Chain A
Amino acid sequence: MKELVIEAVSNNLDTVLAFVDEQLEEMECPPKNQMQIELAVEEIFVNIANYAYLSETGDVTVRMETDTERQTVTITFIDRGVPYDPLSKEDPDVTLLSEQREIGGLGIFLVKKTMDDVRYSHQDGMNILTICTTFALQEGQN
């Protein structure tokens, strides 16, 4: 298990992605899964950077657990910002025509669609969002 504690500002996205990628490359993650994980990490980190601390700034802990044998990656994001469950937000209607579609709101939806499991809890003043994906399972689904 490895952890990165970093200020929740979107300019730190590259540092967060480098931290995640380093471990994905160690476990020889397939490029497609790597892209999906990067996508989920971007959407969640940017969401926290934009909304968690309102006008103040604060840290986010990115905790990454990998299981090379099972080809499983679990990443947990922990912040002490405003309590917010992104999973409670209604999914956008992706069947609407462009004129009816709202600009935005696709980030967390993409996370839900690309990861095998996404969980949120609020404990001891902390937002805890966990994403999990298994490479072999995803390959099997395709």
Chain B
Amino acid sequence: MTINQNKAGNMLTLAIEGRIDTQTAPELEKVLDGTLDGITELVFDFTGVSYISSAGLRVLLKTQKQMNKQGSMTVIHANEDIMEIFEVTGFTDILNIK
């Protein structure tokens, strides 16, 4: 998994490529822990995400809870298979997905 960060003022876009799984989710969590201060608009670009497991969902939910307090969070360009995982877990209702 690689994470490309693009910060513009209070907006942060994280373009993720690869798999968000048990082994890579902690890395994403670490990046988020260090970068969300002062961010009011967070965008996850999932164009390059091929796989997500519960470990990745856990990080998304934790981050959504934090962003509820300080701004907005959006997930963009998730592929069909990832969308299906979001649907069965009810994440389509709790995340802002575009």
> A70-98 toward B: CB 8 Å interface, digit per residue (1/0)?
00000000000000000000000011111
Interface SS majority for chain A: helix
For B64, give its contact among A13, A31, A98 (CB under 8 Å): A98
Please name the residue on chain B nearest to A101 by beta carbon. B61
The yes or no answer to B47 lying at the interface (CB within 8 A) is no
| A110-B21 Cα distance, complex, nearest whole Å | 13
Is the Cβ of B53 less than 8 Å from the Cβ of A107? Answer: yes
Interface flags, B63-98, vs A, CB<8A=1, else 0: 011001000000000000100010011100111000
Question: For residue A10, which residues in chain B have a CB less than 8 angstroms away from its CB?
Answer: 22-23
Q: Establish whether residues B23 and A106, one from each chain, have CB atoms under 8 Å apart when the complex forms.
A: no
A39 touches B65 (CB 8 A): no
State the interface size on chain B (CB cutoff 8 A). 23
Are A95 and B61 in contact, CB atoms less than 8 angstroms apart?
no
Report the Cα distance A14→B24, complex, angstroms.
12
Q: Is B7 in contact with chain A by the CB < 8 A criterion?
A: no
Q: Mark B27-63, 1 if CB is under 8 A from A, else 0.
A: 0000000000000000000000011011101100110
Q: How far is the CA of A98 from the CA of B65 in the complex (A)?
A: 6
Min C-beta distance of B89 to chain A, whole Å: 6
Q: How far is the CA of A104 from the CA of B93 in the complex (A)?
A: 17
Would you call A104 and B68 a contact (CB within 8 A)?
no
- Given the complex of chains A and B, what is the CA–CA distance between A11 and B64 in angstroms? 28
Q: 8 more A-B contacts (CB under 8 A) besides A43-B54, A94-B89, A98-B64? A: A38-B51, A94-B88, A95-B90, A96-B94, A98-B68, A101-B94, A103-B61, A107-B54
